A and B are shown apart, each in its own frame.
Chain A
Amino acid sequence: MPLYHNDDQAMLKDSVAPFVAEQAPVSHLRKLRDSADATGFSRDLWAQFTEMGLPGMLVPEAHGGLGMGHMEAGIVLEEIGRNLTPSPFLATSVGAVAALAKAGGTQAGRWLPAIASGEAIVALAIDESAKHRPDRIATTATRAGNGFRLDGKKSFVLHGHVADMSIVAAKTDGGITLFAVPKDAKGVTADPRRLVDSSLASHVTLDGVEVDADAVIGEVDAGSEILDALLAATRTGAAAEMVGVGQGAMDMTVNYLKERKQFGKLIGEFQGLQHRAAHLYGEMEVARATVMKAQQLLDEGNEGAKLMVSVAKAKAGRAANLAVREGVQMHGGIGMTDEYDIGLYMKRDRALAEYMGDVHYHIDQVARMNGY
C-alpha cells in the first residue's frame, strides 16, 4: 500500500476536518476550561461524534462499529490535535477498542457495542508512577470467591472519574491480567486532577475491589498480549494527535511570520527565522510519514509494527515539541499570553508527549528492540 491517504481516507478527512474545526475549535477548549468543566469533555460534542459513527470507527462491524483501521482513526486524531479538542476518543475509541477487539469474549461483547453507540466511555488504568513503566505493574489481582480482588493505585487515568468502565492491568499468579472494572464497583476511588492542558486525569485507588471471573478481558495471566495491543494503538493514536498539535502550532506560527512586522519588515523575511521554520517543516513531515507507517503496519498486523510504533511516538514527540517551542518563541511576547492560542498548543503537547511513554522511553525501546 502506498504511504498516502487513499480516496476513501481523503474523503473521511474532508468530512472530519471541517466538522471538528467548526464544532470544536480551540475556543471550545477555552469554554470548557473557563467554566471549570468537571467532566473533561463535552458530552454534546461526543453525541455529534456518535452521529458520524466516529466512536465505533475501530469497532468490528459484528459489534456495531465501522471496522476501520488505525490510519482512519489517525485522521480523526490529527484533527482533534489540530483543534486541541478535549475528547475521550483516544482512550475509549482507540486504546480500549484495540484491547477489547484483541481479547474478544464476554467483555468485548458487552462493551464494544456500547462504545460504538456512544454510550460508554472507557478509561485506561495502566500507569502506576509518574513515568510510564507498563512492565512494572504492582497492582494485584488475587482469587476471591468466584472472581478476583483488586488492590493497587493507578495514575494518569484520563477520564477515570467519569468512565463507565476502566481497563485495569494487574498482576496475577502467572503474569498480567486485564480487567474490566465497572464505574460503580465498590472500593474504586477516582481522584481527578486538573493537568496543565486543562484535561482531567485521575489517581485511581483500588481497595479490595471485587469483580466476577468474567470481568477478565481475554484470559487470566495472558494479558500481556492484549496490553501490548492497547499500548500500540494508544501510542500510535497519541502520536497522530501530536502530529495534529504540531501542525496546528506550525501553521499558526508560519502565518504569524507573514503578519508581524519589526524593524520595518515582516519577521518572516529574516533568514534566522526562515531556516528554523524550514527545519521544523522537515521534522513535521518526517513525523507524519512515520506515524502513517506505524498505522499501516498495525492495520496489516505486521510484526514490524511494534518498533515503528515506538519510533512514531518518539519522532512525533520530538517534532511536535519543536513546533510548540518554536511557536511560542517566534510569537515573542504575545506567545506568553493566555489570550493567544499558541501556549495552549504547548500545554497539550506536553501532556500527550508524556502519555503512554515519552520520547526517552520510546527511544530506549528502539534500542532494546535492536538488541542494545
Chain B
Amino acid sequence: MSDLDAFRTEVREWLETNCPPEMREPVRDEDDVCWGGRKFKFKNAAQKAWLDACVAKGYTVPDWPRPYGGAGLTPEQTKILKQEMKRIKARSPLDSFGIWMLGPALLKFGTEEQKVHYLNPIARGEIRWCQGYSEPGSGSDLVSLQTFGEDKGDHWVVNGSKIWTSYADKADWIFCLVRTDKTNKYQGITFMLFDMESKGVTTKPILLISGNSPFCETFFDDVEVPKSQFIGEINRGWDVAKYLLGHEREMISGGGAGGDMVSIGGAFAKAFGKNAAGELDDPILRAEMAAFDTDVFAYRAMGERFMDMWKTGRAHPASSNMMKYVGTELNKRRHELVMAGGGSDALEWDSEESKGGARARSWLRTKANSIEGGTSEVMLNVIAKRILDLPGA
C-alpha cells in the first residue's frame, strides 16, 4: 500500500469516528454554517464537537503548517482529505475569511511572530475576520481608496469608511487597506489589522435586493491602531492586497460549481414530470439545463485542474481571475435556471413553503458574484493584460 493509500485509510477511519451524523446532512440555512468567533453561538452540540475534533487534528486548515494550527498536509494529502470529506458529505467544520483570505496573505507576508499570533486563533475558530477593502468612492478602482491613517509615532489614527464589508457586524477583527501616503497611489497603502471593538469603529448593515444584509458600511472615527499591527511593509500594502484578492477569487470561483454539483436537470425532472420518452417535459428548458449541466461538469474538471496546478506552482498567477470569471457567471446562470424551473413557486418571498423565499433570495444574492472581489469586466481586463499580453490593457 502506498503512503497515500495508507493516509486515505487513516482519514477514512478518523472521519468515521469524529464526524457526527448531523454534520453529514446538507447545509440548509445560514445557521448551519460554522463561522466561529467571539460572538458565534453554536447551533447544536454536534456542530461544536465537529469543530473541536477538526481543530485538535489541524483539519480546519489541513495544509497549514502545524505551528500555525494546521496539519501540515501535502497538496496530495489535502486533496485526499477533501475527497473523503466529500464522500461522506461532511460539512465544512469552519468557514472563515481568516482561513480563505487573511491566512494565505499572512503565510506569505507575515513575520514568524505574526503567523503564530494570528493564525492559531483563525485555525481554532476563535477570531472571526472581516475585510476592509472597498470604499464608497473606490469599487473596481480599488487603489483610489481614501481611508487615511495618520502617523502618530507609536500608532496610526485611522479615519474614513469602508463599504461592502461582509459580516462586519459579526466580525471580531478587520484586515484593512489604509492610505498612509497621499502622494503615492500604489505605494502609499498599508495593510493593517485591528480589533473591531476599538474605539471609533461602527458598522451599519446594508439592506440588499435579496432582503438580507450580509454586507455593512463600516466607519472609522479616530481609530487608534498600534504601529505593530500591519502586514508586509508600510506603504506596500497593495502587494498584500493583490495577493489576497487572488485567493478571494479562488474562493468565489468555487461557487460556480455550486454545492454538491448534482445535475440541475435531473433535480427538476422530478418536479416537472417527464414525457413518455423519459425526458423533462419542457424541451427548451431541458435543453438549457442540459447545456448548463455540461458547462458545470466541465467547470468541475477545470476546478480540479486549476487546484492541482495552483497548489504545485504550475498555474499562471493570474489564472484565478479566469476561474472567478467563469465560475461566477456560471453560478448566476444556475440561479436563473433555478428560478425558471421553480416557476411561480420560486417567486414566493416569505411563505413557509418557500423557506422564507430561499430561491428568490439566493437568486438575487448571486447577482453580486460577478461584482464582489473584482467585477467580471475587471477579470477580463486582467486576463487580457496579464495572460494574453494584449497591448495597452
* A residues at B contact (CB < 8 Å): 2-4, 254, 257-258, 265-266, 268-269, 271, 274-275, 277-279, 281-283, 285-290, 292-293, 307-308, 310-312, 314-315, 362-364, 366-367, 370-372
Tell yes or no: B325 within 8 A of A by CB. yes
In the bound complex, how far is the Cα of B390 from the Cα of A265, in angstroms?
A: 12
Stretch at the interface among B25-33, B115-123, B300-308, B357-365: B300-308
Nearest CB of chain B from residue A23's CB, rounded to whole Å: 29
Contact present for B304 and A367 (CB under 8 Å): no
Chain B residues within an 8 Å CB radius of A278: 322, 325, 379-381, 383-384, 387-388
Residues A269 and B297 in contact in the complex (CB < 8 Å), given A4-B308, A281-B383, A372-B286: no
In the bound complex, how far is the Cα of B263 from the Cα of A266, in angstroms?
A: 44
Q: Which of A258, A285, A290, A371 contacts B390 (CB 8 A)?
A: A258
Contact present for A3 and B305 (CB under 8 Å): yes
In the bound complex, how far is the Cα of B325 from the Cα of A311, in angstroms?
A: 20
- Beta-carbon nearest neighbor of B264 in chain A: A370
Chain B residues within an 8 Å CB radius of A307: 297
- Beta-carbon nearest neighbor of B315 in chain A: A4
Proximity bits, B367-393, A CB within 8 Å = 1, else 0: 000000000010111011001111111
**8 Å CB contacts to A: which residues of B294-314?**
294-295, 297-299, 301-302, 304-306, 308-309, 312, 314
Tell yes or no: B268 within 8 A of A by CB. yes
Tell yes or no: B46 within 8 A of A by CB. no
- Beta-carbon nearest neighbor of A311 in chain B: B297
Nearest CB of chain B from residue A14's CB, rounded to whole Å: 16
Contact present for A367 and B302 (CB under 8 Å): no
Q: Which of B263, B274, B314, B387 contacts A281 (CB 8 A)?
A: B387
Tell yes or no: B289 within 8 A of A by CB. yes
- Beta-carbon nearest neighbor of A371 in chain B: B266
In the bound complex, how far is the Cα of B291 from the Cα of A77, in angstroms?
A: 26
Contact present for B391 and A269 (CB under 8 Å): yes
Chain A residues within an 8 Å CB radius of B388: 254, 274, 277-278, 281
Contact present for A285 and B322 (CB under 8 Å): yes
Best-buried of B289, B297, B304 by chain A (most CB within 10 Å): B297
Residues A308 and B297 in contact in the complex (CB < 8 Å), given A3-B305, A254-B390, A367-B279: yes
Nearest CB of chain A from residue B299's CB, rounded to whole Å: 6
- Beta-carbon nearest neighbor of A268 in chain B: B390
Main secondary structure of the interface of B (DSSP, over half): helix
Q: Which of B269, B294, B314, B325 contacts A366 (CB 8 A)?
A: B294
Nearest CB of chain B from residue A284's CB, rounded to whole Å: 10
Q: Which of A2, A258, A265, A364 contacts B290 (CB 8 A)?
A: A364
Residues A367 and B293 in contact in the complex (CB < 8 Å), given A257-B390, A278-B380: yes
Nearest CB of chain A from residue B376's CB, rounded to whole Å: 9
Nearest CB of chain B from residue A123's CB, rounded to whole Å: 29
6 residue pairs, one from A and one from B, having the closest CB atoms: A372-B269, A293-B301, A370-B263, A278-B383, A367-B290, A274-B384
Nearest CB of chain A from residue B364's CB, rounded to whole Å: 25
Chain A residues within an 8 Å CB radius of B305: 3-4, 288-289, 292-293
In the bound complex, how far is the Cα of B300 from the Cα of A289, in angstroms?
A: 9
In the bound complex, how far is the Cα of B314 from the Cα of A315, in angstroms?
A: 23
A-B Cβ contacts below 8 A, count: 143
Residues A372 and B268 in contact in the complex (CB < 8 Å), given A269-B393, A367-B286, A367-B293: yes
Contact present for A372 and B280 (CB under 8 Å): yes
In the bound complex, how far is the Cα of B326 from the Cα of A285, in angstroms?
A: 10
Tell yes or no: B56 within 8 A of A by CB. no
In the bound complex, how far is the Cα of B384 from the Cα of A220, in angstroms?
A: 56
- Beta-carbon nearest neighbor of B280 in chain A: A372
Best-buried of B278, B293, B319 by chain A (most CB within 10 Å): B293
- Beta-carbon nearest neighbor of A254 in chain B: B388
Chain A residues within an 8 Å CB radius of B274: 372
Q: With A363-B290, A366-B294, A371-B278 given, name 12 new contacts (CB 8 A).
A: A2-B308, A4-B309, A278-B322, A281-B388, A289-B301, A290-B298, A293-B305, A307-B297, A308-B301, A315-B298, A366-B290, A367-B286
Q: Which of B279, B302, B308, B309 contacts A286 (CB 8 A)?
A: B302
In the bound complex, how far is the Cα of B302 from the Cα of A312, in angstroms?
A: 11
Contact present for A367 and B289 (CB under 8 Å): yes
In the bound complex, how far is the Cα of B384 from the Cα of A258, in angstroms?
A: 12
Tell yes or no: B265 within 8 A of A by CB. yes
Nearest CB of chain A from residue B78's CB, rounded to whole Å: 12
Contact present for A287 and B298 (CB under 8 Å): yes
Chain B residues within an 8 Å CB radius of A366: 263, 290, 293-294, 297
Nearest CB of chain A from residue B85's CB, rounded to whole Å: 19
Nearest CB of chain B from residue A74's CB, rounded to whole Å: 14
- Beta-carbon nearest neighbor of B281 in chain A: A372
- Beta-carbon nearest neighbor of B377 in chain A: A275
Nearest CB of chain A from residue B97's CB, rounded to whole Å: 26
Contact present for B391 and A266 (CB under 8 Å): yes
Contact present for B304 and A293 (CB under 8 Å): yes
Contact present for B266 and A311 (CB under 8 Å): no
Chain A residues within an 8 Å CB radius of B314: 4
Nearest CB of chain A from residue B292's CB, rounded to whole Å: 10
In the assembled complex, 12 residue pairs joining A and B whose CB atoms fall closer than 8 Å, in A order, are A268-B391, A268-B393, A274-B388, A278-B379, A278-B383, A283-B326, A289-B301, A289-B305, A292-B305, A315-B295, A367-B293, A372-B280
